[in-house]
Amino acid sequence: MKGIFVLLFLFVGLKASFAQKLSEHFNETDYPYILYLPNDRILKSHPPVMVFLHGRSLSGTTLESVKRYGVIHEILNGRNFPAIIIAPQTPMGKTWYPSKIKEVIRHVQAQYVTDTNRVYVLGMSLGGYGTLDFVGTYPEMVAGAVAMCGGGNLKLAKNLSEVPLWIRHGDRDRIVPLSESQKIVNAIRKYSSKNLKFTIDKGLNHGQLERFFRGNEIYVWLFKQEK
């Protein structure tokens, strides 16, 4: 079954057919969020949940900016995911709070029967920080996570070492320096490296890591993880 999940999301179809599966939710949790539901066959088969945490430039209150890049942008361009996708939005000037992310996940899980052993989180920039803060705070919830061009709280390193993580950063990043990822990677390695994947993307600046949302490798890796 897991192999089917990995293959299904690679299919790209008509933009309109997938855009119809997106819904916007306000005043249900502290964060407004966009929700994507897979087709009925997958939805009835206890699908995984994937949470996308945006960067600072996508912050706001209307959810429109969350569509500019990342997972929701991919869905609008026709990518089909074999998972329930949650894309919350943090207000302008605010950081990500793990407890509020958890609230959104639990709210969605209360409405749909999901595979609680396959909750994934991925984020870029501010969302990269948010990803590592959430995973480090609630490691028992997360099967795998991808954090790009961000950093993390060194005090959470032990918890982070317990979860499969892929941390990646461009070596020409002038907005969030590579040293931010390197520091948390070094801290995690003091406990264990067995769950850690660290990639330094040669020649890439901060914004150029957005390209990985448009490829397949981070999703293929995530969907292979299971608690």
Task: Please report which helix (H) or strand (E) contains residue 7, including its range.
Answer: helix 2-8
Residue-wise pLDDT tens digits, 11-61: 444 443 444 589 999 999 999 999 999 999 999 999 999 999 999 999 999
> Is the confidence at residue 194, as pLDDT, over 60?
yes
Indicate the CATH number of 2-223 among 3.40.50.620, 3.40.50.300, 3.40.50.1820, 3.40.50.12280: 3.40.50.1820
Mean pLDDT to the nearest integer, 78-92: 96
> Is the confidence at residue 10, as pLDDT, over 90?
no
Give the pLDDT confidence score for residue 171 in this predicted structure: 97
Q: What is the mean pLDDT of the chain?
A: 92
Give the pLDDT confidence score for residue 134 in this predicted structure: 98
Mean pLDDT to the nearest integer, 78-104: 97
Delimit the domains of the chain by residue range.
2-223
Contacts of 83 (CB under 8 A, 6+ apart): 5, 9, 38, 42, 47, 48, 49, 50, 118, 120, 223
Mean pLDDT to the nearest integer, 155-164: 98
Distance (Å, whole) CA 53 – CA 114: 20
Distance (Å, whole) CA 97 – CA 108: 17
Give the pLDDT confidence score for residue 20 in this predicted structure: 53
Contacts of 44 (CB under 8 A, 6+ apart): none
Give the pLDDT confidence score for residue 169 in this predicted structure: 98
Mean pLDDT to the nearest integer, 1-11: 46
